[in-house]
Amino acid sequence: MKKNLVSSALILIGLLTGAQAQVAGSTKENGYGLPSQITLPEPFATESVRRETQIVGWPEGKTPQAPSGLTVKEFASDLKHPRWIYILPNDDVLVAEAEDYSKDEKERKKQIRSGHSANRITLFRDRDGDGIADERHVFLENLFQPFGMALAKGHLYVANSNSIVRFPYVEGADSLEGEGEKIADLPAGGYNHHWTRNLMLDKSGERLLVTVGSSSNVGEHGMDREERRAKILIMDLNGDNEEIYAWGLRNPNGLDYNPVSGVLWTAVNERDKLGDNLVPDYITSVKQGGFYGWPYKYFGDHIDPRWEGKIPEDLPEVIVPDLATGSHTATMDIHFYRDNKLGDEYQNGAFVAQHGSWNRAKYIGYKILFVPFRDGRPTGEVRDFLTGFMKDTDSDEAYGRPTAVAEESDGTLLVVDDDGETIWSIQPSMP
CA distance 278 to 186: 29
- Sign, CA dihedral 254-257-258-261, equals positive
Query: What confidence score (pLDDT) does residue 3 get?
Result: 37
Would you mind telling me the total number of residues written for the chain in this entry? 431
- Please list, residue by residue across 313-322, b when 16 or more beta carbons sit within 10 angstroms of its beta carbon and e when fewer do: eeeeebbbbb
The pairing of beta strand 280-285 with beta strand 323-327: antiparallel
| Alpha-carbon distance values, 199 to 61, 162, 219 (Å) | 34, 13, 24
Where does residue 195 rank: exposed (0-12), middle (13-18), buried (19+ CB within 10 A)?
buried
| Alpha-carbon distance values, 248 to 218, 230, 305 (Å) | 11, 6, 17
Query: What confidence score (pLDDT) does residue 86 get?
Result: 98
CA distance 391 to 369: 18
Closest listed residue to residue 251, CA positions, set 288, 289, 292, 223: 292
* 8 Å CB contact between 269 and 335: no
CA distance 333 to 230: 16
CA distance 124 to 133: 6
Query: What confidence score (pLDDT) does residue 89 get?
Result: 97
- Please list, residue by residue across 119-141, b when 16 or more beta carbons sit within 10 angstroms of its beta carbon and e when fewer do: bbbbbbbbeeeebebeebeebbe
CA distance 254 to 403: 9
| Alpha-carbon distance values, 232 to 71, 166, 245 (Å) | 36, 19, 5
The pairing of beta strand 290-291 with beta strand 243-247: parallel
Global pTM reads 0.92
CA distance 78 to 208: 32
Query: What confidence score (pLDDT) does residue 23 get?
Result: 44
Backbone φ and ψ for 304, nearest 5 degrees, come out as -70, 120
Q: Which amino acid is at 1?
A: M
CA distance 165 to 364: 36
Closest listed residue to residue 195, CA positions, set 217, 223, 162: 162
- The DSSP call for residue 130 is S
CA distance 50 to 66: 29
Q: How far is CA 17 from the centre of its chain?
A: 25
Digits of tens for pLDDT over the chain (431 positions)?
333 433 333 333 333 333 333 344 445 556 899 999 999 999 999 999 999 999 999 999 999 999 999 999 999 999 999 999 999 999 999 999 999 888 777 887 888 878 899 999 999 999 999 999 999 999 999 999 999 999 999 999 999 999 999 999 999 999 998 889 999 999 997 777 899 999 999 999 999 999 999 999 999 999 999 999 999 999 999 999 999 999 999 999 999 999 999 999 999 999 999 999 999 999 999 999 999 999 999 999 999 999 999 999 999 999 999 999 999 999 999 999 999 999 999 999 999 999 999 999 999 999 999 999 999 999 999 999 999 999 987 889 999 999 999 999 999 999 999 999 999 999 999 87
Task: Give every CB contact of residue 347 below 8 A, 6+ residues apart in sequence.
Answer: 337, 338, 339, 340
| CATH architecture assigned to 2-428 | 6 Propeller (2.120)
* 8 Å CB contact between 74 and 62: no
- Going from N- to C-terminal start, the domains of the chain cover 2-428
Query: What confidence score (pLDDT) does residue 103 get?
Result: 79
Coil/strand/helix, residue 135: strand
- The DSSP call for residue 368 is E
Query: What confidence score (pLDDT) does residue 28 get?
Result: 58
